[in-house]
């Protein structure tokens, strides 16, 4: 609360004025990192009321293929959502709401199920080679994607709007038109 209503706007106004010479309107509310805490509190309240104290579904730990399938399904669902919604719009104080938020409740409640069913103990018994290979391949794929097809986003301090600035490719950085 202190960050959202006092510290965040003061820092935002002060740093914007010092570095860009611009003033934001007084009284701007900023979520900053507090949006994450707020979201966790909301999920915890829903969990407490919806699941209750004795809620304990007996669900076995999925295989590594099951985890991979869940990740693919989550990614495809997110892709479909951002086809119809602006993925950069904040909503309920959550930045990139439509792109990121749909997976947050899934991961939160999957974590609760995993904890109740001791999935971490089962994961310790799975092949380390398969787990580390999957992690390394995922990180390598992410790095390749960002190097070859990455977009740099800059926030305009005067408007707060996102603008696509450059596209990185083999021939170097090129100016791109703002797609909005």
Q: Which helix (H) or strand (E) holds 153?
A: strand 151-155
Residue 124, CB half-sphere, CA atoms under 13 Å: how many? 3
25 vs 136: which has the higher pLDDT: 136
pTM value is 0.62
Contact criterion met (CB below 8 Å) for 85 and 98 = yes
Is the model's pLDDT at 176 over the cut of 50? Answer: no
Where residue 164 falls among pLDDT bands split at 50, 70, 90? Answer: very low
Residue 62: φ, ψ to 5°: -70, 165
Mean pLDDT to the nearest integer, 108-116: 91
Least confident of 9-23, 63-77, 153-167: 153-167
Is the model's pLDDT at 121 over the cut of 80? Answer: yes
Least confident of 41-55, 75-89, 124-138: 75-89
First to last CA, the chain: 33
Is the model's pLDDT at 77 over the cut of 60? Answer: yes
pLDDT of residue 27: 53
């Amino acid at each position: 609360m202190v960050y959202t209503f006092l510290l965040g706007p003061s820092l935002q106004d002060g740093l914007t004025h010092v570095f860009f010479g611009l003033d934001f309107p007084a009284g701007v509310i900023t979520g900053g990192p507090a949006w994450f805490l707020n979201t966790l509190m909301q999920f915890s309240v829903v969990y407490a009321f919806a699941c209750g104290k004795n809620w304990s579904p007996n669900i076995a730990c999925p295989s590594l293929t099951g985890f991979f399938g869940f990740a693919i399904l989550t990614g495809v669902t997110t892709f479909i959502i951002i086809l119809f919604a602006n993925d950069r719009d904040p909503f309920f104080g959550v930045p990139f709401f439509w792109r990121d938020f749909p997976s947050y409740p899934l991961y939160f409640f999957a974590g609760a199920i995993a904890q109740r069913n001791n999935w971490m103990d089962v994961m310790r018994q799975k092949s380390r080679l398969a787990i580390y290979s999957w992690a390394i391949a995922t990180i390598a794929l992410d790095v390749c994607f960002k190097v070859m097809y990455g977009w740099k986003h800059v926030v305009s301090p005067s408007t707060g709007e996102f603008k696509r600035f450059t596209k990185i490719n083999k021939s170097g950085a090129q100016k791109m038109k703002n797609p909005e």
